[in-house]
Amino acid sequence: MMNLKQMEYFVRVAELGSFSKAAMVLDIAQPALSRQVRLLEADLRVILLSRNGRGVALTEAGRKLFDHAVDILQSVERATEDMENSRDEPAGRIVIGLPPSVGRRLAVPLARIFRDTLPKARPVIVEGLSSHVTEWIAGGRVDVGLIHNPDPNPAIEVSPLAEEPLGLVALTLDAATVLRWAELAGLPLILPERSHSMRRLLETQAAFAGIRLKVAMEVTSIPSILDLVGAGFGHAVLTRTALRAWGREGEFTFRPLIEPAVNSTLFLAFPAKKPITPLGRRAMALLGDLVRTEMHNAHCL
């Protein structure tokens, strides 16, 4: 019968799409890794991975086992954490979800804090859009995360951490220091697609202001949006911190939007129905302190 080690090997190969990459991550010889996965397939009498020239892909049976295996491995890790935490020693694996611009600023200081204050803990940092991080937390794949402007979701709890005004990011210099929402109408905008939290916030505010946004292009990646603004394809609506995160603040003008002023809010998020472990509580406190420190430092620049 399959064992936990075989499940872990299978999951890593599936996640990375490659036996060679998984072998490096797991620190195991590739032939031994391949043999264990073949034994798992033989025990279950199904093909879990289809091999091709580019790597491997999950079969239909593989996709079903992958979901079960991830849940089982996470349950085992949580059980191990609980045993460690019962001795008041926060330890084990904790998965933290961050949006890309936040992850760029916080990944290194967060890793440093865990190393210095929680040496027995193993943080796993995953990046994704706020909508993705929300789904991962609701589904139990992520333990705690940071998300922008979330919609109500009964599967997660949220707590606001920081607010920051939105502004028009443009390539050309302008004597005006602010921009009224009414003036935004007609300007060609490069915006994320509709599932992005920033796009939803802008569309909602535009409806309240009685204006229609002129969408020139839809691009999800903030660095790509800034590249297109820099190339003269249009303007963007972002926070000043987003410019700083990608090292581009000096290249553009930033005019805060007023009448009304609109803020983007960063929330701490965690599962609503999953018990929070001592390690989870410590991680949430560390994230909150780190965000507040980073925002304070940014505003002092």
Q: Domain holding 285: CATH number?
A: 3.40.190.10
Do the domain assignments include residue 30?
yes
Per-residue confidence (pLDDT) for residue 174, from 0 to 100: 66
Do the domain assignments include residue 18?
yes
SS3 per-residue string spanning the chain: CCCHHHHHHHHHHHHHCCHHHHHHHHCCCHHHHHHHHHHHHHHHCCCCEEEECCEEEECHHHHHHHHHHHHHHHHHHHHHHHHHHCCCCCCEEEEEEECHHHHHHHHHHHHHHHHHHCCCEEEEEEECCHHHHHHHHHCCCCCEEEEECCCCCCCEEEEEEEEEEEEEEECCCCCCCCEEHHHHCCCEEEECCCCCHHHHHHHHHHHHHCCCCEEEEECCCHHHHHHHHHCCCCEEEEEHHHHHHCCCHHHCEEEEEECCCCEEEEEEEEECCCCCCHHHHHHHHHHHHHHHHHHHHHHHC
Do the domain assignments include residue 209?
yes
269 and 259 belong to one structural domain: no
Do the domain assignments include residue 80?
no
96 and 184 belong to one structural domain: no
Q: What is the CATH number of the domain that holds 26?
A: 1.10.10.10
Number of domains in the chain: 3
Distance CA 287, CA 301 (A): 21
275 and 291 belong to one structural domain: yes
Do the domain assignments include residue 147?
yes
Residue where the block lists tokens 């580019």: 54
| pLDDT mean values, one per 10 residues, the chain (301 residues) | 86 90 88 92 92 86 91 81 62 89 88 90 90 90 91 91 91 77 90 85 87 90 90 92 82 89 91 86 91 68 38
Per-residue confidence (pLDDT) for residue 83, from 0 to 100: 67
35 and 183 belong to one structural domain: no
Distance CA 222, CA 147 (A): 15
236 and 190 belong to one structural domain: yes
Do the domain assignments include residue 78?
no
Question: Model pTM?
Answer: 0.67
178 and 133 belong to one structural domain: no
Per-residue confidence (pLDDT) for residue 126, from 0 to 100: 92
Do the domain assignments include residue 61?
yes
Distance CA 222, CA 199 (A): 12
Q: What is the CATH number of the domain that holds 235?
A: 3.40.190.290
183 and 252 belong to one structural domain: yes
Note down the domain range covering 220: 164-263
Per-residue confidence (pLDDT) for residue 300, from 0 to 100: 42
96 and 9 belong to one structural domain: no
**What does DSSP say about strands 236-239 and 121-127: parallel, antiparallel, or unpaired?**
unpaired
145 and 174 belong to one structural domain: no
Residue that finishes a domain, picked among 69, 99, 114: 69
pLDDT tens per residue, range 84-126: 655 556 778 899 999 988 888 899 999 999 999 888 888 999 9
155 and 272 belong to one structural domain: yes
187 and 155 belong to one structural domain: no
215 and 237 belong to one structural domain: yes
Do the domain assignments include residue 84?
no
